[in-house]
Amino acid sequence: MTGPRILLLDIECTNLDADYGYTMCVGYKWYGEKKIYVPSVLDYADAFGKDPTNDKHLMRDIHKVMSQADMWVTFYGKMFDVPYLMARMLHHKLPILPPIPHVDLYFTAKTNLKVSSRRLGNLIDHLGLKARKTRLSGPIWVRAAAGHTPSLKYIKDHCYHDINALSELYTLLRPLVRLHPNVTGKYKTAEKGKCRICGSDRLQWRGRLLLTRTSAKRRVHCSNCGSWDTRLAAS
């Protein structure tokens, strides 16, 4: 994979608080690649056989994955997924995760979209995404939390589809991420360069000069991802 490593991330756990629950599975995908990974406590047979609630090995491996990323993308992950993982990782004596730029699409939707519900399922329906979201019922969740293998496999499948939806949603909403990290590095004055959001060179000058008290800028539009940006005008 070339360019920045953008990690799409989602978790499924047994409780809203990490000291009263554990992580059943973690779904992730490297943006730009097709494969979706959903490691779970089931993947560590010896530990699972002794204690189905032992997520130590899962946390160790996810810590390695998250540390390799240049940027994280989640949905409500700033308020839940990442703090939950951090609490579980510290519980298992793993190091603090490095400070990595984090785009949370929940807040992008909250700021830019006036819809009745900002839940991922509603956004999938309203925006006409191809991804689907599976239904979760209380009995399945309870059995999975207790270590019931078929229910845990259902939870893994649910997480898989959430990552698929998150990837599609990121492609659609990334032009609206106001503080999106620059994926291309610097560009020279008065040159279009590349799109700082998707890295494409399909940029077009659009509109007249934008004047400020200290400089003049020109607006550019990315034909690839649809984002808008500005560049300093030639002096």
- Domain range annotation of the chain: 6-176, 185-235
Q: Which of 3.20.20.80, 3.30.420.10, 3.30.60.50, 3.40.50.150 would CATH assign to domain 6-176?
A: 3.30.420.10
Q: Helix, strand, or coil here: 183? A: coil
d(CA 102, CA 233): 30
21 contacts 13 by C-beta, under 8 angstroms? yes
What pLDDT is recorded for position 21? 96
Residue type, 198: C
pLDDT of 54 strictly over 80:
yes
pLDDT score at 132 = 85
Structure tokens at 50: 């002794």
Query: CA 168, 59, 166 angle in degrees (round to 5)?
Result: 5
For the residues 52-58, what does the mean pLDDT come to?
Answer: 96
> Which residues make beta-bridge pairs with 103?
73
pLDDT at 212 over 70: no
pLDDT at 189: 47
Give the confidence band of 188 by pLDDT, cuts at 50, 70, 90.
very low
Quick check: 215 pLDDT over 80?
no
CA atoms of 94 and 230, how far apart (whole Å): 42
**62-115 pLDDT tens trace:** 999 999 999 999 999 999 999 999 999 999 999 999 999 999 999 999 999 999
Strand runs labelled E in 56-185: 71-74, 102-104
The length of the chain is 235
pLDDT of residue 206: 82
